[in-house]
Structure 1
Amino acid sequence: MSLFEPDAGQAGAPVRAPLADRLRPRNLGEFAGQRHLLAEGKALRRMLEADRPTSLIFWGPPGTGKTTLARILARSWDAEFVEFSAVLSGVADVRRVVEQARGLLRHGRRTVLFVDEIHRFNKAQQDAFLPHVESGVLNLLGATTENPSFEMIPALLSRLRVVVLHPLTEEDLRAILERSLSDSERGLGGLQVELTPEAADHLIAAAFGDARRLLGALETAVGVAPLGPGGVRRVDLNLAEEAVGKKALRYDKDGEEHYNLISALHKSLRGSDPDAALYWLARMLAAGEHPHYILRRLANFACEDVGLADPYALNQVMAALKAYDLMGSPEGELPIAQAVVYLALAPRTNAVYKAFAAAQHDARELGPLEVPLHLRNPATKLMKGLGYGRDYQYPHDFEGAVVGQEFMPERLAGRRYYQPSERGREKFLRERLEQLRRDKARLRGQTKKDRPT
């Protein structure tokens, strides 16, 4: 089809088209989400403004704008837009599009081929694109929910730029919801819909970052809402629950229950109870808490409560964050659960937390203590003449790479902040630190104990 024929996102679309299709954004002004790509100065925004067609793969969860962005790009490039599904099309269709593209190119018009679910094409079908993408006969835009590095042949993938889309935020979904209720031309603005705040919150939470799911549930709820006085269709929480097929759990993201649940999760982790931790995680997710909030708290726990007793704990959380951003909900919630179990079973230490708090206290209360001359950088001849860097001992020039030199400000000489525990891997760090302190004391010719903290 040509991009400029009426479609579900334009006036003149069939009135019975699903709400999600009718409301499909036609330009960036109507698009919600993906600010990491579309904010001023970001890569995709620059592509739209530069009018330099390129071949891209949009990779992200359902309902995040992959097809919509492809159409907006093609419109901005003033190109012929051809769209087909990898499920229904084959190599013969590709050849037909290529011949049409060659003909249009002779008349100065470019062709953008959009392939939905491009990961479903087999190797032979993907190979068919290769020479035509390389020669510039057509620009290929693909959409996939699967990891392109696993599903695309390397030769084709190397000629495409991968654009990663994220699940829509609560703010994004709320903007879409409000637009659907106010747009009289393509949305529900002409139906006098009254959506209660509780119903709106539930629809947004149950959408899991998917605009199509949100609008589908809203359309269902409005469709069964009884006509009230003045022809108003009132959608309350009960109707919203029926539309999405799940009950709303009691949860206020800014209220007591929000803090009760995160506290229960944190204390279950600290108490080494993976079963309780999994339950509280499930409660928060089911109630619509954004996984990013939970992951931030897990990262805090990994640093504050697990620390260097298991330095891999933080890696588990960061890997879960990356996996969630790639997979979306609900699949991406499993890596979060995996991180929760790991943290619950990890050894405990808060030694770094306490050490850093003590260092922060001294930095705040003692003011800007002078940097010792031997630790200063002699960047200029004048600085060198003033003694900057003089008598600095370069550890690699000494046996065991250990020196007896003091690295604290004079007032804090001998101050100890970090006192490792004997749990987990921190036990080995404790042994290492004790040996270092003995060696340094010997090298300084000191036998007296350092001043206590």
Structure 2
Amino acid sequence: MTLFDPPAPLPERLRPRTVAEVVGQSHLLGPGKPLTRVLASGRLGSLILWGPPGVGKTTLARLLAAEVGAHFIALSAVSAGVKDVREAVTEAERLKARGQRTILFLDEIHRFNKAQQDALLPHVESGLLTLIGATTENPSFEVNPALRSRARTLVLEALTQEEVRGLLDRALSDPRGLPGVTAAGEALDLLARLSEGDARRALGTLEVAATLANPVTPEAVTEAFGKHLPAMDKNGEDFYNLISALHKSVRASHVDASLYWLARMIEGGADILYVARRIVRMAAEDIGLADPQALRLCVAARDTAEFLGSPEGDLALAQAVVYLALAPKSNSVYVAWKNALNAVREGETLPVPVHLRNAPTALMRSQGYGKGYAYYFDDPEGSFGQNYLPEGVQLDLYEPTGEGWEARVAERWRKLREAHGEGEE
């Protein structure tokens, strides 16, 4: 072996050779589990393997093909296109004539657009190709419904720290791994934790750390690993799960959890202006009139984040999140607005009462527009006595909560309803 013929990376050298060597995914590969039953029957249908990076999606696809004796064609949706699919179809037709089935493995299937995914449909439906798609994104959003309906979706899970630690031990003892390298137990524990269930990252980091120190130390692991950024797909489900966790923690007034999820997003590389916009939304939706200042503070935090950028502007977002978590909560305006939209969407489109209509011209006034309107400052009692909704329409959309500022105006709200003849009968 020479410099021009380097060894394969450690994750590739230690790739499982049989299904029995696969680490993790016991919910799919254990006794009586879905893939175990499929392999026992010998009838492998199309699959979509959904899971985080480094959990063995590609490896599992290769092993499944080998187990059922199928020809394996691997494509990456990053670089492949319809032309590559057509070539795979041609090869599958040739092999079918010889009695051999073909499995087409499409890595990162979510990167295929609708037209490219549609090109697969007739060949998957006819059984010419057995498709195994791999994705880190939720197939419900990223894979066409027609293709999803023809493939079974299996969810792969991140490896546990114990499973990753077992892989690292194997790397040091297996002749294909790192013969002659040893490592301190605390170094392997640290690497298992930092890898967050990603076997490929764990093994790759171990290989680099072994070039820095032998025995491998925690310091070597830290140097090889580089800056630890929490896992987050900036455009995928993880991103929206973090936003959801942040919003729900604020709503529940859990200050520490709110700061934690905000930090996860910022450290993961989220667009701080997008996060700022969501924080402004939280102020309007969940704090509302319980603390009218919350919205103003969050808009100011958004402006500060735009003006300063990250990391300086991050502190303004942290301040806003802490404020929202501590603030009294009211979704009364949010509920009232949804009620108003439903009333408009589900009700008749009724005309505006004549006395409420705009009357800027003599012609409009001659048609009675604005006639009889009681101007509040001239006739408060008459103003309260006139109708402000279309004829026959009665609505009960808004009701204040007992939280914060809204509790202080609840009595005025009740008196206003009574003045408009809308109080309790």
TM-score, length basis structure 1: 0.51
What's the secondary structure of 1:52's corresponding residue?
Answer: coil
C-alpha separation between the residues in 2 aligned to 1:130 and 1:73? 21
Summarize the Cα distance change of 1:73–1:198 in structure 2 as closer, same or farther, 3 Å threshold.
Answer: same
C-alpha separation between the residues in 2 aligned to 1:97 and 1:280? 47
What's the secondary structure of 1:235's corresponding residue?
Answer: coil
C-alpha separation between the residues in 2 aligned to 1:55 and 1:346? 51
Match of 1:89 in 2: 80
The percent of aligned pairs where both chains have the same amino acid is 56
Gaps of 5+ in 1: 1-13, 226-232, 248-267, 285-336, 348-422, 425-453
Establish whether residue 202 from structure 1 lines up as the match of residue 190 from structure 2. yes
C-alpha separation between the residues in 2 aligned to 1:167 and 1:20? 16
C-alpha separation between the residues in 2 aligned to 1:115 and 1:344? 44
Match of 1:133 in 2: 124
The answer to whether the Cα contact below 8 Å between 1:277 and 1:344 also exists between their aligned partners in 2 is: no
The answer to whether the Cα contact below 8 Å between 2:46 and 2:150 also exists between their aligned partners in 1 is: yes
Counterpart of 2:93 (choices 102, 106, 114) is 102
Match of 1:144 in 2: 135
C-alpha separation between the residues in 1 aligned to 2:185 and 2:259? 27
> Deviation above 3 Å: which 4+ runs of structure 1?
276-284, 343-347
Match of 1:160 in 2: 151
C-alpha separation between the residues in 2 aligned to 1:152 and 1:108? 30
Summarize the Cα distance change of 1:346–1:178 in structure 2 as closer, same or farther, 3 Å threshold.
Answer: farther
Q: Please state how far the C-alpha of 1:280 moved relative to its aligned partner.
A: 7.1
Establish whether residue 181 from structure 1 lines up as the match of residue 172 from structure 2. yes
What's the secondary structure of 2:134's corresponding residue?
Answer: strand
Summarize the Cα distance change of 1:346–1:109 in structure 2 as closer, same or farther, 3 Å threshold.
Answer: farther
Q: Please state how far the C-alpha of 1:21 moved relative to its aligned partner.
A: 1.1
Establish whether residue 238 from structure 1 lines up as the match of residue 219 from structure 2. yes
Match of 1:408 in 2: none
* Root mean square deviation, CA, Å: 3.2
The answer to whether the Cα contact below 8 Å between 1:56 and 1:141 also exists between their aligned partners in 2 is: yes
The answer to whether the Cα contact below 8 Å between 1:58 and 1:163 also exists between their aligned partners in 2 is: yes
The answer to whether the Cα contact below 8 Å between 2:162 and 2:192 also exists between their aligned partners in 1 is: no
Q: Please state how far the C-alpha of 1:281 moved relative to its aligned partner.
A: 7.9
Q: Please state how far the C-alpha of 1:238 moved relative to its aligned partner.
A: 0.7
Q: Please state how far the C-alpha of 1:82 moved relative to its aligned partner.
A: 0.6
Match of 1:61 in 2: 52
Match of 1:114 in 2: 105
C-alpha separation between the residues in 1 aligned to 2:92 and 2:105? 13
Establish whether residue 215 from structure 1 lines up as the match of residue 203 from structure 2. yes
Deviations 1:133-159 (A, max 9, x none): 111111010100111111111111110
Gaps of 5+ in 2: 229-248, 265-317, 329-401, 404-425
Counterpart of 1:45 (choices 24, 36, 44) is 36
**Which one-letter code corresponds to 2:219 in the other structure?**
N
C-alpha separation between the residues in 2 aligned to 1:273 and 1:158? 41
Establish whether residue 71 from structure 1 lines up as the match of residue 59 from structure 2. no
Q: Please state how far the C-alpha of 1:195 moved relative to its aligned partner.
A: 0.8
Matches within 5 A, 1:290-301: none
Match of 2:408 in 1: none
The answer to whether the Cα contact below 8 Å between 2:191 and 2:221 also exists between their aligned partners in 1 is: yes
Summarize the Cα distance change of 1:127–1:280 in structure 2 as closer, same or farther, 3 Å threshold.
Answer: closer
What's the secondary structure of 1:114's corresponding residue?
Answer: strand
Summarize the Cα distance change of 1:280–1:55 in structure 2 as closer, same or farther, 3 Å threshold.
Answer: closer
Summarize the Cα distance change of 1:100–1:277 in structure 2 as closer, same or farther, 3 Å threshold.
Answer: closer
TM-score, length basis structure 2: 0.55
